[in-house]
Amino acid sequence: MGSLRNVGVVGLFGYTILFFTFIYLPIVLIVAYSFNSDPINMMNWSGFTFDWYRQIFGLKNTVSENALYIESTEQLLNALRNSLTVAAFTTTIATVLGTATALGLYRFNFLGKKFYRVLLFAPMLMPDIVLGIALLIFFVGADVSLGLKTIIIGQCSFLISYVFIVVSARLAGMDRSLENASADLGADEWTTFRRIILPQAMPGVIGGALLAFIISMDDLVITYFISGVDTQTLPIFIFGMLRRGIKPEINAIATLMLLFSFAVASLGLYFRSRRG
Amino acid sequence: MSTSTLRGRRRSQLGILLGPASAFLAIFFLCPLLIMLVYSFLEPGLYGGAEWAFYPDNYGRILGFANPEFEDYDPVYISIFLRSLKIALITVAATLLVCYPAAFQISRLPDRWKNFALFLITLPFFASLIVRLFIWVLILKKTGFANMVLAGLHIVSHPLELIYTEGAIIVGMVYVFIPFMFLPVYASVEKLDWSLVRASQDLGANGFQTFWRVIFPLTLPGVVGGSIIVFIPALGNFIVPAVLGGAKVMMLGNLIEQQFLGARNWPFGAALAMLVMAAVLAILFFYIRFEARRGDDAPVLR
């Protein structure tokens, strides 16, 4: 009986190792192969090179002229610029509106509050593709030309909910007695808000903003439908590359993107650990 | 006097806090969805767009009645819907199978390791979805990593067709949806009262009985929650089938995309999207019923 139990424990442990291998082996592979010099078969290791990285930044490299794979560095940088522009706007708008909504629901009671809360969850549960085409029909019907503006609006329509939820969770864990103490000591509402509520809510606001930023940078489906023909964001650029056939420098692009998102995520988790 | 101005001030504060977001969501979330609903009942225009006429045949083409003058009922649409449903359900089951045992192991680790494990599981969620899918193209394609390993171990002599299959789509979806399933399941497992498990064993239940009658019901809320948040994005997904299914395996999402960006039959595409939304709403309805019933049962259990 005891040995059977051990088999179970060892089995579960082995399973968990496999679980993490499944998650991380692909990531390790892509990073490793981004340094592979074989331009034809990406999985055939033929030597170490920085060429693909040089290639995406438009630097001189040993890849011969007729093997120029990337569409153009210009396009890539343009897509990156678009993504950052969109993310800057959506993060700001969604953070302000989402935080305001969370504060409103935290401080006030009103008729239909529960229903309102459910309504705020709806954009997160809506399948991407449904919201994407609904926005496309809407913008085309309203005669708005598709581009950065429509992408920003479209992304905000679901990012507000994400920020709202993160900030609400933070507010729910807050100590209400501090607020009462502040009022008892004669602070007016604005002072209490500025000196007590806002500082306590801040980690939630930062967390919500980071989440909004990451989701915005990564959004593909909704952006795909409402970006129009001329505007590409980074995920759409890569999606297009994949559909046209895979080229080796995409490994390098992917590695850089992984590095970037892991850095942002670690930053977020660092903030969270500090608040605890 | 002061109470009425106070109330007025509170009302204006509430308006300032909730007004902008409410207006934004009313215009750019609810309004587009309503327009899409209306659109799905309009007649497709000859050159894209829609004619302002009631036209239920968009649904007819999918569900079995159609206007024979223009287009026929084609069972291919319902079969694509059923295939999407099947792939989404298998994805849910596979993700659960992958996450459930790992959640048990991780819940029993010492705190430091536990936090590190949770960090490792959530980290990929922050990485670009398209990048994570692309990796699987490299792994599954004919000259890819999986075939290299299989050939190296002499398991296969010819490279297998791994990519552009339903299996590839399912693997890709499981990979990207792991954090969605893991976190709710883990939350349930973490809360599991092990004294009940020991009680069950003391009372003579065997391993299977203990699992099926005690452990599984107690972790069911996490299982159901995780299943729903995996099922919803899986059903209407078009990125994963586009990347890993190629043109060979079509799902509902790809069909909808075609109607909007290829065939330019927007009302038909809107009708298909309504189908996705109906399925999601049905699932959420059952979930709310499940939660409500659980709420009723809770005092009895206690």
Q: Evaluate whether residue A151 is within a structural domain.
A: yes
Least confident of A92-96, A250-254, B61-65: B61-65
Say if the Cβ atoms of B21 and A129 lie within 8 Å.
no
Look at the block and give the residue holding tokens 């009708």: B271
Same domain flag for A120 and A45: no
Average pLDDT over residues A248-274: 80
Same domain flag for B192 and B229: yes
- To the nearest 10°, report the CA torsion of B83, B84, B88, B91: 60
Q: Evaluate whether residue A273 is within a structural domain.
A: no
Same domain flag for A14 and A84: no
Same domain flag for B299 and B224: no
Please give the residue that has the higher pLDDT: either A23 or B9.
A23
Q: Evaluate whether residue A254 is within a structural domain.
A: no
| A192 touching chain B per CB within 8 A | no
The predicted structure's pLDDT at residue B299: 42
Same domain flag for B247 and B120: yes
Q: Evaluate whether residue A218 is within a structural domain.
A: yes
- Arithmetic mean of pLDDT over chain A: 83
Least confident of A44-48, A160-164, B171-175: A44-48
Same domain flag for B107 and B235: yes
Same domain flag for B285 and B203: no
Residue B302 — pLDDT band, cuts 50, 70, 90? very low
User: Is pLDDT at A156 greater than 70 in this prediction?
Assistant: yes
| A31 touching chain B per CB within 8 A | no
Q: Please, which residues 54-93 of chain A have a Cβ atom closer than 8 Å to chain B? A: none
Same domain flag for B57 and B128: no
Q: Evaluate whether residue A255 is within a structural domain.
A: no
Q: Evaluate whether residue B28 is within a structural domain.
A: no
- Decide: helix, strand or coil at residue B60: helix
Number of domains present in the structure of chain A = 2
Between the alpha carbon of residue A26 and those of residues A120, A254, B175, the distances in Å are 36, 12, 10
Number of domains present in the structure of chain B = 2
Same domain flag for B166 and B197: yes
pLDDT in tens, A41-63: 666 777 787 877 777 777 766 65
Same domain flag for A122 and A220: yes
The predicted structure's pLDDT at residue A63: 59
* Chain B residues in contact with A130 (beta carbon < 8 A): 33, 36, 236, 273, 276-277, 280
Please report, for the domain that includes residue B97, its CATH number.
1.10.3720.10
Same domain flag for B166 and B237: yes
Same domain flag for A146 and A239: yes
Q: Which of A71, A28, A159 is nearest to B127 (CA)?
A: A28
Please give the residue that has the higher pLDDT: either B43 or A236.
A236
Question: Can you name the residues that pair with A269 across neighbouring β-strands?
Answer: none
Q: What is the span of the domain harbouring residue B45?
A: 39-73+265-302
pLDDT in tens, B261-296: 887 888 989 999 999 999 999 988 888 888 777 765
Same domain flag for A47 and A177: no
Same domain flag for B115 and B129: yes
Examine the fold and report which residue of A24, A41, A61 is the final residue of a domain before the chain moves on.
A61
Average pLDDT over residues B7-20: 81
Using CB atoms, which residue from B104, B119, B236 is nearest to A12? Answer: B104
Least confident of A19-28, A41-50, A86-95, A155-164: A41-50
Please give the residue that has the higher pLDDT: either A98 or B52.
A98
Look at the block and give the residue holding tokens 């420098």: A249
The predicted structure's pLDDT at residue A162: 92
User: Long-range contact list for B50-59, CB < 8 A, 24+ apart?
Assistant: B50/B266, B50/B267, B55/B267, B58/B267, B58/B268, B58/B270, B58/B271, B59/B271, B59/B274
Q: How far is B279 from B267, CA to CA, in rounded Å?
A: 19
Q: Evaluate whether residue A14 is within a structural domain.
A: yes
Using CB atoms, which residue from A103, A246, A257 is nearest to B131? Answer: A257
Same domain flag for A81 and A172: yes
Same domain flag for A11 and A83: no
Residue A276 — pLDDT band, cuts 50, 70, 90? very low
pLDDT in tens, A170-228: 888 777 788 788 878 888 878 888 888 888 888 889 889 988 998 999 899 999 999 98
Same domain flag for B221 and B152: yes
Same domain flag for A102 and A236: yes
Q: Please, which residues 14-53 of chain B have a Cβ atom closer than 8 Å to chain A? A: 14, 16-18, 20-22, 24-25, 28-29, 31-33, 35-36, 39
Q: What is the span of the domain harbouring residue A41?
A: 2-61
User: Is pLDDT at A94 greater than 90 in this prediction?
Assistant: yes
The predicted structure's pLDDT at residue B38: 92
Q: Phi and psi dihedrals of A172, rounded to 5?
A: -65, -30
* Chain A residues in contact with B105 (beta carbon < 8 A): 12-13, 15-16
* Chain B residues in contact with A22 (beta carbon < 8 A): 98, 175
Same domain flag for B94 and B236: yes
The predicted structure's pLDDT at residue A1: 47
- Arithmetic mean of pLDDT over chain B: 85
Say if the Cβ atoms of A100 and B17 lie within 8 Å.
yes
Same domain flag for A53 and A85: no
List the helix and strand counts (H, then E) for chain A: 12, 0
Same domain flag for A231 and A144: yes
Same domain flag for A109 and A241: yes
Angle of helix A128-141 versus helix B31-39 axis, rounded to 10? 90
Same domain flag for B86 and B56: no
User: Is pLDDT at A251 greater than 50 in this prediction?
Assistant: yes
Same domain flag for A212 and A81: yes
Q: Evaluate whether residue B18 is within a structural domain.
A: no
Please report, for the domain that includes residue A237, its CATH number.
1.10.3720.10
Q: How far is A36 from A45, CA to CA, in rounded Å?
A: 6
* Chain A residues in contact with B134 (beta carbon < 8 A): 30, 238, 242, 246, 250, 254
Q: Evaluate whether residue B51 is within a structural domain.
A: yes
- How large is the ipTM? 0.87
Q: Could you tell me which chain B residue has the CA closest to the CA of A125?
A: B232
Q: Evaluate whether residue A264 is within a structural domain.
A: no
